[in-house]
Amino acid sequence: MSSIRRALPRALPLAATAAALALTVTACAGGTDSGASSAGGDGGRVRVALAFPPAQAMSPFGDDAVTLSRLAVAEGLTTLGKNGEALPALATEWRPDGDRAWTFTLRKAVFQDGKQLDAQAVVRALDAAEKASPKPRVLSDTDIGATAQSPQTVRITTKKPDPLLPQRLANPSLSIFSEGAYKAGGKVDLVGHATGPYTLSKLNGAVSATLTRNDSYWGSKAKAPGIDVKFVADGKARANALRAGQTDIAESVPVSQVSLLAEGQAREVPTARTNSLYLNTEKGTFTDAGLRASVRAATDSKALVEGVYEGRADTAQGLFGPGVAWAAKQRVPVEGRAAAAPKEKAAAAGEIVLGTYTNRPELPEVATAVQQQLEKAGFKVRQVVRDYARMEADALDGKFDAFILPRNTLLDTGDPSSYLSSDFTCAGSFNLSQLCDKDVDAAVAKTVGAMDTPERQQAEMAAEAKVLGTDAVIPLVHERFVQGVREGVEGVSLDPMERTLITADTRIG
CATH number of the domain bearing residue 286: 3.10.105.10
**107, 122: one domain:** yes
- End-to-end Cα separation, the chain, in angstroms: 39
Burial 24-33, CB ≥16 within 10 A → b, else e: bbebeeeebe
* Least confident piece of the model among 19-23, 52-56, 428-432: 19-23
* pLDDT value of residue 393: 93
Which CA distances in Å does 158 have to 98, 103, 155, 204, 464?
A: 11, 12, 10, 38, 25
How confident is residue 2, by pLDDT bands cut at 50, 70 and 90?
very low
Residue 377: partners with Cβ closer than 8 Å, 6 or more residues away:
294, 295, 297, 298, 343, 346
- Residue 310, CA distances (Å) to 300, 304, 346, 362, 374 in order: 15, 8, 30, 10, 21
Query: Taking 50 as the threshold, does the pLDDT of residue 37 lie above it?
Result: no
Question: 296 lies in a domain?
Answer: yes
Going by C-alpha positions, the residue among 203, 170, 198 that lies closest to residue 188 is 203
- Tens digits of residue pLDDT in 235-274: 999 999 999 999 999 999 998 899 999 999 999 887 889 9
User: pLDDT tier at 21 (50, 70, 90 boundaries)?
Assistant: very low
Which strand (E) or helix (H) includes residue 125?
helix 119-131
Averaged pLDDT, 123-148: 91
Per-residue pLDDT, 34: 34
Q: Does residue 468 carry a pLDDT above 90?
A: yes
51, 190: one domain:
yes
Residue 215: inside a domain, yes or no? no
377 is a domain residue: yes
CA angle 492, 493, 499 (to 5 degrees): 135
pLDDT band with cut points at 50, 70 and 90 for residue 85: confident
pLDDT one-digit tens code per residue, 470-479: 999 999 999 9
Q: Is residue 444 one of the residues assigned to a domain?
A: yes
Residue 440 has pLDDT above 50, yes or no: yes
- Name the least confident of 5-19, 61-75, 177-191: 5-19
How confident is the prediction for the chain on average, in pLDDT?
Answer: 89
Q: Do 29 and 140 belong together in one domain?
A: yes
**Residue 156, in any domain of the structure:** yes
- Same domain (yes/no): 55, 99: yes
Strands 23-26, 226-231: pairing is unpaired
Task: Name the nearest CA neighbour of 484 among 165, 297, 313, 264.
Answer: 264
Residues 382 and 490 in one domain: no
Say whether both 37 and 150 belong to one domain. yes
Pair (435, 390) in one structural domain: yes
Q: Would residue 501 count as lying in a domain?
A: yes
Check whether 28 has a pLDDT greater than 70. no
Question: pLDDT digits over 370-404, tens only?
Answer: 999 999 999 999 999 999 988 999 999 999 999 99
- Confidence band (pLDDT; 50, 70, 90) for 62? confident
> Quick one: 319 and 417 in the same domain?
yes
457 and 501: one domain? no
pTM of this prediction exceeds 0.75: no
pLDDT band for position 281 (cuts 50, 70, 90): very high
Amino acid at 308: V
Give the integer Cα–Cα distance in Å for 469 and 344.
23
- What pLDDT shows up at residue 23? 36
Is 151 a domain residue? yes
Which CATH number is 503's domain given?
Answer: 3.90.76.10
- For the segment 445-472, the average pLDDT, to the nearest whole number, is 91
Please tell me the total count of domains within the chain.
2
Tell me the residue range of the domain where 50 lies.
14-196+486-508
Same domain for 416 and 309 = yes
Same domain, 153 and 293: no
Residues 292 and 350 both lie in one domain:
yes
Please check whether residue 92 lies inside any domain of the structure.
yes
Q: Containing H/E element for 221? A: none
